[in-house]
Amino acid sequence: MSRTLNDLALGALAALAAGAAVSAEPKPVPCASAEYHQFDFWIGSWDVTEAGKAAGHNDIQSILGGCALLENWTGAEGGVGKSLNYFDAAEGLWHQQWVDGSGGSLSLAGKFEGGSMRLEGTRTATAQRAAMRNRITWTPMPGGKVRQLWESSPTDKDSWTVQFDGIYSRVSAPH
């Protein structure tokens, strides 16, 4: 028996419908869990001040479908830098990889606890500098502002020195 064009079309529609039903199942969304969004308070375009004086401008973008944040810093005196910030679910830690236009870099890791994001890391010693621990804490503040406190300490001591204590004031909504 030969199949008619109608029979073939009906068969094709049935196959498509069956396939559509299988593919209509929701796929898991990567980076959808709450941990991946603990740092979202930092997303946006910001003017940054320190002790009431302009320190620079920072644009923080959510990238890769919410799996990471990209920081684009421009200092008031012309310095520039970028960081990639991401949550590693296997470790249960946030990471930041920072690099600036003068060749400086920082690798930090930590957690969101007590209402603040705190990341820490150690720079190894070189011929030009001693080993140094760094910790940076970002804290959401009333009025949508964010405080960033960067402290450092020699690796052989437990005394922290403030390197930067900035206030972020939102210029535009997150994008």
Residue 26 counted as domain residue: no
What is the helix (H) or strand (E) element at residue 164, kind and residue range?
Answer: strand 161-172
Q: Any idea which residue has 């991401």 for tokens? A: 86
The CATH number that applies at residue 124 is 2.40.128.20
Residue 147 counted as domain residue: yes
Task: Tell me the β-bridge partners of 122.
Answer: 133
What is the helix (H) or strand (E) element at residue 155, kind and residue range?
Answer: none
Q: pLDDT tens digits, residue range 97-115?
A: 999 999 999 999 999 999 9
How much is the average pLDDT of 19-41?
81
Residue 21 counted as domain residue: no
Predicted local confidence at residue 27, as pLDDT:
78
How much is the average pLDDT of 131-141?
96
Indicate left, alpha or beta for 64 from its phi (over 0: left) and psi (-120 to 50: alpha): left
Overall number of domains in the chain: 1
* Length of the chain measured in residues: 175
pLDDT at 18 > cutoff 60: no
Q: pLDDT tens digits, residue range 50-98?
A: 999 999 999 999 999 999 999 999 999 999 999 999 999 999 999 999 9
Quote the domain boundaries for residue 139: 34-172
Residue 50 counted as domain residue: yes
Name every residue whose Cβ is closer than 8 Å to that of residue 162 and which is 6 or more positions away in sequence: 149, 150, 151
Residue 99 counted as domain residue: yes
Instruction: Report d(CA 93, CA 123) in Å as an integer.
Output: 19
Q: Are 83 and 61 in contact (CB under 8 A)?
A: no
Q: What is the pTM of this model?
A: 0.82
Residue 24 counted as domain residue: no
pLDDT at 120 > cutoff 60: yes
